[in-house]
Amino acid sequence: MSDLGFVRTNVLPISVSQALVLSPVSNTPQNAEGSPPASAAAPNPGSGGYAKKVVTGSIWMIANTVASRVGSFVSQIFLAWWLTKSDFGVVGIALAISGVAAVLRDGGVRQILLKRHSEHDRLLGPCFWMAMGFNSVLAVLLTVAAFPLSRLYNDSRLIPMLAIIGWSIPLGTIGGILLTKLTADMRYRENASVITSSAMVRYVSSVVFAYFGLGPLSFVLPNVLCALTENTLTLYYSNNRPWRLAPHVNEWWSLFLSSRWALLASLGIAGMNQGSSGMIGLAAPLEVVGIYTFAYLIVVQIGILLSTNINWVLVPVFTRLAEDEQRKRAAVLRTLRQVSLIATFVSLGLAATYRPLESLVWHERWAASILPVQIMGAGYAINVLLCISLAVQQARGQFRAWGVGLLLLAAGTMLSAYLGTLLGKPELDNAIFLALHSRSFWPYVAERIWISSVYIALVTASFGVCASLIHLTVALKPLGVGRREVIKNALIVWSIGLLAGALTIAIDSLVDAPFRNILAQWVGNRAGVSIAEFLLFGANGLFFTGVYAILVRTVVPDALTEAIQMFPARLRAPAASIFRIDIETAPHATEPKAAPDPG
């Protein structure tokens, strides 16, 4: 999950300071009005210094994201072995509660520092002390609220978890403020070093805590270590000592007001990422919450890889094209086509290969997450497209629409999760009632828990697809992009991915059991199953890739041509040869196309 200051993205294990990025919405640094930092967002194209720094910064951001995702997945493998579904459930509820409260972390001052780079000498003191004040109040509120909330959710483990999460927020104030200053100063290498080091401390310590049996506390205890790590490294890289500066309390209110839309947007991000777990916990056992939380964490690994780096590039580009609506429109349509191609391939590819992956890594311990991951992965290919419409709104200065839209998306996501829970609740309640009278019904309860998670995945994924398409249509309409174009560029590629994914999953379901039995007879049951699942994982991936590539080449060759034209020069010709595309005669991807009827 992400830093509430819109600086970084990390996933498992989760902290409140990282609770807002597990969605297609990227938390690329934003300024006080919601746009990219003035120091880095819109460099003069002719300015070699700025351009070089932006390119270098993008490379460091991508490297950090990849390293974090690898560390996150490795740690999740171990955590899923040592923690139960109930543990994941209570973590999801704790983050849902703390995520909403932590929206006010730092009082929005990080965005102010990013925007007013030239005023850092004057603002650093007031921003630091205002952040420390806000964070201390949040810590007290979370600690006090932990007691009634633990009774509401009937789990006393929430009390220490919320207290640790709460007090880690003011503990990390120094690191958070100085890390933001490193970003504003375009010191991307140092920024990435701090973020990556903190992430590695989080992943390693969480696995160690889980190994020693600390359960869900394994997710939140690393917050303290990460805060100390970030404090130490940012103080090492920075000469600033903000606690020595005057607080200037009279400026706090105006500083808070200047970041209101960014705060509203972050509230929406918190609701989209974390609110669903809290809503599910109101009407379902922790095991159901745990399955949903686990499945969501698997799926959004893909979203973070895509949306973080896409947003890092899109907002500056769209901002520079602000005065040229025709070029911006062409750029948006190209981006929509290319992101659809990539997001569909990655998200549906995950859905197609997850069953053998789960069996290989967790030996069906998390088999209940297979259908939810496949359903949510299928829908997530469309959800990722939100990064385009949100980037357009920020580039056009539509900060109110940006914030309000995210808030509405959050409300809909939470309500859809609760609706899905209610749809599966009658069967689950009946199973629990029967089990209370006879232990022989407990397997039936486990099955109903699994089915309840499928209901939730279906409803939330359906809402996500519909809401994302509506948001895209509304946000892109001012550019002259009609709903027909949105549907054409998003849904055609998505339909191709759904077909390729469905074929892959269908064939996998037919050959899985026979193939495992054959290998089990040859090399023994345990080794045979592992080898079979490894081979099926690779075969599913190759089959899905082949079918997807053939369908894309046949149905949307222009989008594939555009994608190949953006390859590095040394890869362009081989890729064109494989797909039998003549890139010499094809229209270049940068040529704006005539605006069709918006429909």
CB pairs under 8 A, 24+ apart, for 245-254?
245/124, 245/125, 245/126, 245/128, 245/129, 246/125, 246/126, 247/125, 247/126, 247/128, 247/129, 247/130, 248/125, 248/126, 248/129, 249/126, 249/129, 251/126, 252/107, 252/126, 252/130, 252/133
Token pair of 43, please? 């460099």
More confident residue, 179 or 569: 179
List, as one string, the DSSP characters of 228-256: HHHHHHHHHH----GGGS---GGGHHHHH
Q: Does pLDDT of 483 surpass 70?
A: yes
Tens digit of each residue's pLDDT (9 = 90 or more) over 102-154: 666 776 677 677 666 666 677 777 878 888 888 898 899 889 999 999 999 98
Sequence-separated (6 or more) residues with CB below 8 Å from residue 80: 294, 361, 362, 365, 366
Per-residue pLDDT, averaged over 337-345, amounts to 87
Cα-to-chain-centroid distance, residue 313: 17
pLDDT in the model for residue 57: 55
C-alpha distances out from residue 221 to 100, 161, 182, 318, 582, Å: 20, 8, 26, 40, 56
More confident residue, 421 or 70: 421
What is the reported pLDDT for 212? Answer: 92
Query: Across residues 191-206, what is the average pLDDT?
Result: 88
pLDDT tens, position by position, 266-307: 777 777 777 888 899 998 888 899 999 999 988 887 766 666
Q: Which of 90-99, 127-136, 214-223, 252-261 has the highest mean pLDDT?
A: 214-223
The rounded mean pLDDT for the chain is: 78
Q: Give the max Cα distance, the chain.
A: 77
The proportion of the chain whose per-residue pLDDT surpasses 70, expressed as a percent, equals 76
Which residue type sits at 70? V
Q: What is the pLDDT of residue 199?
A: 87
- Candidates 153, 144, 111; CA nearest to 27 is 111
The Cα-based distances of 514 to 189, 357, 533 in angstroms read: 51, 17, 12
The predicted model scores a pTM of 0.80
More confident residue, 134 or 233: 233
Q: How confident is the model at residue 259 (pLDDT cuts 50, 70, 90)?
A: low
d(CA 282, CA 422) in angstroms, rounded, equals 10
Compute the chain's Rg from CA coordinates: 24
Torsion, Cα of 129, 193, 78, 82 (10° steps): -20
Q: Which amino acid is at 193?
A: S
Is the bond leading into 478 cis (omega within 30 degrees of zero)?
A: no
CB 307 within 8 A of CB 387: yes
Look at residue 115 in the predicted model and tell me its pLDDT: 66
Choose the most confident range, by mean pLDDT, from 7-11, 148-152, 475-479, 588-592.
148-152
| Paired strand residues for 2 | 9
Could you tell me what percent of the chain has a pLDDT over 90?
A: 27
Q: Give the per-residue pLDDT at 291.
A: 92
Task: Give the pLDDT score at 546.
Answer: 93
